[in-house]
Amino acid sequence: MGRVLNGTAIADSIKAEVRAEVERLAPQGIRPGLAAVLVGHNPASEIYVRSKVKTCETLGLGSDLITPPETVTTQEMLDLIGQLNAREDVDGILVQLPLPPQVHAKTLLEAVSPEKDVDGFHPVNVGRLQTGQPALAPCTAAGIVEILKRSEIPISGQNAVVVGRSDIVGKPTAILLLAENATVTVCHSRTRDLGAMTRQADILVVAIGKPGLVTADMVKPGAVIIDAGINRVTDRKEFERYFAGDARREKTFAEKGSTIVGDVHPAAFALANAYTPVPGGVGPLTIAMLMANTVRAARLRRGLPV
């Protein structure tokens, strides 16, 4: 079993750096601020957004939680985004997905000012990222690269395989790894003989949303595995497939009736030189990088070096 890459510890380091940066900006009259827009009452979204707001408060960032009703229209949301774009105390705008069906999500996300797009979803930021300009990168993708760098794992010259081509994780991770001089292959649901591709990876990033998709026979011994999947397991047979003989997981499953598995079968980690666990790997980096992006946006908006 390889080295465990502790995402929680790395996220804590990034948050400490954010807190220090907030303190450095304070004498200049700058307090980076995040506005979070949460529509309706999706319990999972409410927990996630409130966690982001609480983290802002802990680190000294300004925060504003805005909760339009479930019946809100696209135009009403566009008006709200316009107001947030104009607010000087707001450096980052986060629109929590999913949105109700009557709201056109793509139109809304593109209405966010690119300078305040701390999720890194706006086409302008996507273009800036791809062309190597200063940009706000999607938080999970940026977090994956931070895990590698801060764990002193070589990227330059390595064969990196990214399984998953989402706009949120797969594609931006590939772009960021290219920027670090990795040789990158992107695989997806239509890739023929996925195992033949993944076995070439020195760095294997899996973000495809399918529990246990990558098995031990698909991993090159000594590879670094970054598992960005989060899948809830509630079925006993499925649990046994991933965690048979794991007493710690058995205890959690018995108490809660569920546990979490990534997109990589846990047996594959035995072959790895290093790997991110699930939970406790990539997940904690997402909020940490959101905080870092908010401070980065505050600096970029004011022409300060980043």
pLDDT in tens, 25-75: 999 999 999 999 999 888 888 998 999 999 999 999 999 999 999 999 999
Is 251 known to be catalytic?
no
Of the listed 15, 116, 117, 119, which one is catalytic?
119
pLDDT of residue 10: 98
Q: What percent of the chain has pLDDT over 70?
A: 100
Third-level CATH fold of 24-114: Rossmann fold (3.40.50)
* Overall average pLDDT of the 163-186 stretch: 98
pLDDT of residue 296: 97
Is 1 a residue whose pLDDT tops 80? Answer: no
* Overall average pLDDT of the 190-205 stretch: 98
For residue 167, what are its two tokens? 């706009």
Say what angle helices 283-301 and 7-25 make with each other, to 10 degrees: 20
Is 119 known to be catalytic?
yes
pLDDT of residue 44: 84
pLDDT of residue 42: 84
pLDDT of residue 216: 98
CA 226 to chain centre: 12
Query: Domain extents for the chain?
Result: 24-114, 139-282
Say what angle helices 139-150 and 283-301 make with each other, to 10 degrees: 100
Is 96 known to be catalytic?
yes
* pTM value surpassing 0.85: yes
**Do 24-114 and 139-282 agree at the fold level?**
yes
CATH 2.40.30.10 fits 139-282, yes or no: no
Of the listed 15, 91, 96, 227, which one is catalytic?
96
Is 155 a residue whose pLDDT tops 80? Answer: yes
Question: Chain-wide mean pLDDT for the chain?
Answer: 96
